[in-house]
Structure 1
Amino acid sequence: MTRTEPLATTAETPSVVAKLSTLDRFLAVWILLAMAVGLGLGRLIPGLNDVLAKVEIGGISLPIAVGLLIMMYPVLAKVRYDKLDAVTGDRKLMVSSLVINWLVGPAVMFALAWIFLPDLPEYRTGLIIVGLARCIAMVIIWNDLACGDREAAAVLVALNSVFQVLAFGLLGWFYLDLLPGWLGLGEGEQLDISMWKIALNVVIFLGVPLVAGFLTRRIGEKKLGRESYESNFLPKIGPWALYGLLFTIVILFALQGKTITSQPLDVARIALPLLVYFALMFFGSFLLGKAIGLSYERSTTLAFTAAGNNFELAIAVAIATFGVTSGQALSGVVGPLIEVPVLIALVYVALARRKKFAPTV
């Protein structure tokens, strides 16, 4: 993929669809197949999840880290870093993103967790942890597929990363320990997670590909010129973003395939509030962006950065605090099970609404 504009024309120009690569044309199919392959491997190969889980450093899964780095690098190499000041100067976008991600998002997940799972405290706590972990990785792909603003995505993801390091522990204490007591909902719980582990998560999943993408852009433009860099080099590395995505999905679901398939009713209970959460966060943010005068590209970026969650961090926190077999960990695992197909569907929803926005000048 050289860019993701071809997806936007899928419903409009059949002749263009015929020119798309097989990978691009059937993207949703490949993602669903990757999920099925991962679940099947995790279910059919005894001990596979244990083997994969042991390949880690500092609590970070190396297979997942490799997949995410491969996935994010090509997209971040496409970002025009000399245009980031145009994003940071957009106060409506910046303020809206901070409010939605760090005030609205956690509160919405807290409310949904208590509404849908009042009798299942472990799953409820796991969902609240998912709501606290704002997305810094896969959102880059969803945004790019929906033709969102790459530069805006880079800035908002970096902003989320800073706040994640500073605010995750504080919000965890507020929503899991303090607020339930205030509301008379029972005794609270405490998270056992250090700021260092959160910072390490941010450095690996965002810092490394961001630096690599920035250096590639800078050196590439210096040697080739911007036009040649974008027309010749980027198309060569573009498909690797989706290869990395599919690899990550297979590994992720292979890790948890047995758990997910052995507890279908529990998965369904956890999935329902997640579906409502993704819908509320995406459509609410998308409509807010249009209402305050943002372009389609920036409204899309705002919506995906609001709807996505950092499932790597959520799972790591749940396992570190409550154990690998805990209900809290299962909630974290169900997160990407629901998020991946839902957000790929929302890519097409966003593209279908593109014509409702005024053309970008």
Structure 2
Amino acid sequence: MGIFEKYLSVWVFLAIVIGQLLGLVFPQHFQQIAVLEYQNINLVIAILIWAMILPMMLQIDFTSIKSLSKKPQGLFLTLSLNWLIKPFTMFFIATFFMSYIFSSYISEEVAQSYIAGMILLGVAPCTAMVFVWSHLMKGDANYTLVQVSVNDLIMLFAFAPIAGFLLQVSDIVVPYETLFTSIFLFIVMPLIASILIRQYFIKNLGQIIQKLKPLSVISLLLTILILFGLQSDNIVNNFFHMVLIAIPLILQTYLIFYLGYFISKKIKLTKNIAGPACLIGTSNFFELAVAVAITLFGINSPAALATIVGVLVEVPVMLHLVNIINKKYKPTLK
């Protein structure tokens, strides 16, 4: 593991601090980045996410995907966590804390908006970042790709009705073009690029992968820096509320992870399958959640702020969960 991966939590913290400071000192530059959008997806962030996952996809031997039907338990676990459990536990935990525990500190209107943002996080399963988490815990790259692809396909049809039901807004407008564009940018494009690179540069593939590995972590850090730079004013003006939002998000993350971890042990999944299955079910497609929250409620809305807190919470917590899997889950489990 290289220096970037070994001290990733340190680099993430520095990226957050630097992004926050730069956003306060040079807000006009971040606004110039913010307007570079298509279908409510920021193109700069899209490129960085693309660069994040390409090195991971290059390591995938696509000819082995056909054998995944022999071990479907991990896929079933991921789908169950993402679509039958996670959105609903997020709704109940967010409502319990925002409407009851923290009711003395947050108005009812703001609390409902925070709940909406957290629900959008809960209904958007991880797409891009899970390749990073899977790589860090030596997960099966082929299996991770299939899990993400199936989740994205289901998300096209399940995101709107589940979000609409939980938000209790029958006429909620979900930007399907944003969903389709996100999947094309974050999955299809790097997938095609990796196939072409493997086909035409097969002799030097090992060297190419080795050289591109740092690109994933650097892109992650730049993504975090830009997101926090864009929301620097919101973060400063609502810091106490951010702490309150983080509490139920952290509890939800650990709840889903340990539920997946427990089930993985019970059904005796190997580490390279159980790890990605638990992490996909735990983490969020925060880029999509941020885009939808901004589209539905506005860039300065409490709902958008809640999704930004999701970014802040997810990275350090997911690094801790990766560490738990690497230390406690036996690779040879049969």
TM-score higher than 0.5? yes
The yes-or-no answer on 1:157 pairing with 2:151 is: no
Q: Which moved more, 1:87-96 or 1:252-261?
A: 87-96
Q: Distance in 2 between matches of 1:154 and 1:75?
A: 10
Whichever residue aligns with residue 308 of structure 2, its letter is V
The yes-or-no answer on 1:30 pairing with 2:21 is: no
**Conserved 8 A contact 1:34-1:247:** yes
Q: Shift of the alpha carbon at 1:357? A: 4.7
Match of 2:104 in 1: none
Question: Structure 1: 5+ residue runs without aligned partners?
Answer: 1-5, 7-20, 178-187
Match of 1:286 in 2: 261
Whichever residue aligns with residue 149 of structure 2, its letter is A
Whichever residue aligns with residue 252 of structure 2, its letter is Y
Alignment TM-score, normalising by the size of structure 1 = 0.85
Q: Distance in 1 between matches of 2:27 and 2:81?
A: 42
Q: Which moved more, 1:29-38 or 1:49-58?
A: 49-58
**Conserved 8 A contact 1:166-1:195:** no
Aligned partner (choices 186, 193, 217) of residue 198 of structure 2:
217
Q: Distance in 2 between matches of 1:48 and 1:255?
A: 9
Q: Shift of the alpha carbon at 1:346? A: 1.6
**Conserved 8 A contact 1:290-1:296:** no
Q: Distance in 2 between matches of 1:190 and 1:279?
A: 32
Q: Which moved more, 1:25-34 or 1:315-324?
A: 25-34
Q: Distance in 1 between matches of 2:252 and 2:37?
A: 30
Match of 2:113 in 1: 122
Q: Shift of the alpha carbon at 1:63? A: 1.4
Q: Distance in 2 between matches of 1:107 and 1:72?
A: 29
Q: Distance in 2 between matches of 1:322 and 1:42?
A: 22
Aligned partner (choices 93, 97, 103) of residue 84 of structure 2:
103
Q: Distance in 2 between matches of 1:97 and 1:330?
A: 27
**Conserved 8 A contact 1:133-1:310:** yes
Q: How many residue pairs get matched?
A: 324
Whichever residue aligns with residue 256 of structure 1, its letter is Q
Cα RMSD, aligned residues only: 1.7
Q: Distance in 2 between matches of 1:88 and 1:59?
A: 36
Change (3 A) 1:293 1:81: same
Q: Shift of the alpha carbon at 1:269? A: 1.2
Whichever residue aligns with residue 134 of structure 2, its letter is N
The yes-or-no answer on 1:358 pairing with 2:303 is: no
Q: Distance in 1 between matches of 2:3 and 2:79?
A: 38
What are the superposed Cα offsets for residues 147-181 of structure 1, whole Å, 9 maximum, x if unpaired?
Answer: 1111111011111110111111111122112xxxx
Question: Structure 2: 5+ residue runs without aligned partners?
Answer: 100-107
What are the superposed Cα offsets for residues 107-136 of structure 1, whole Å, 9 maximum, x if unpaired?
Answer: 111111111111411101111111111111
Q: Which moved more, 1:286-295 or 1:42-51?
A: 42-51
Match of 1:10 in 2: none
**Aligned counterparts, 1:196-345, within 5 A:** 196-221=177-202, 224=203, 229-230=205-206, 232-345=207-320
| DSSP 3-state at the match of 1:47 | helix
Whichever residue aligns with residue 246 of structure 1, its letter is L
Q: Which moved more, 1:344-353 or 1:157-166?
A: 344-353
The yes-or-no answer on 1:143 pairing with 2:95 is: no
Q: Shift of the alpha carbon at 1:89? A: 3.2
Alignment TM-score, normalising by the size of structure 2 = 0.92
Whichever residue aligns with residue 265 of structure 2, its letter is K
Change (3 A) 1:190 1:323: farther
Change (3 A) 1:263 1:254: same
Q: Distance in 1 between matches of 2:265 and 2:191?
A: 28
Q: Which moved more, 1:120-129 or 1:78-87?
A: 78-87
**Conserved 8 A contact 1:101-1:306:** yes
Q: Distance in 2 between matches of 1:335 and 1:68?
A: 17
Q: Distance in 1 between matches of 2:229 and 2:293?
A: 18
**Conserved 8 A contact 1:152-1:298:** yes
Q: Shift of the alpha carbon at 1:197? A: 2.2
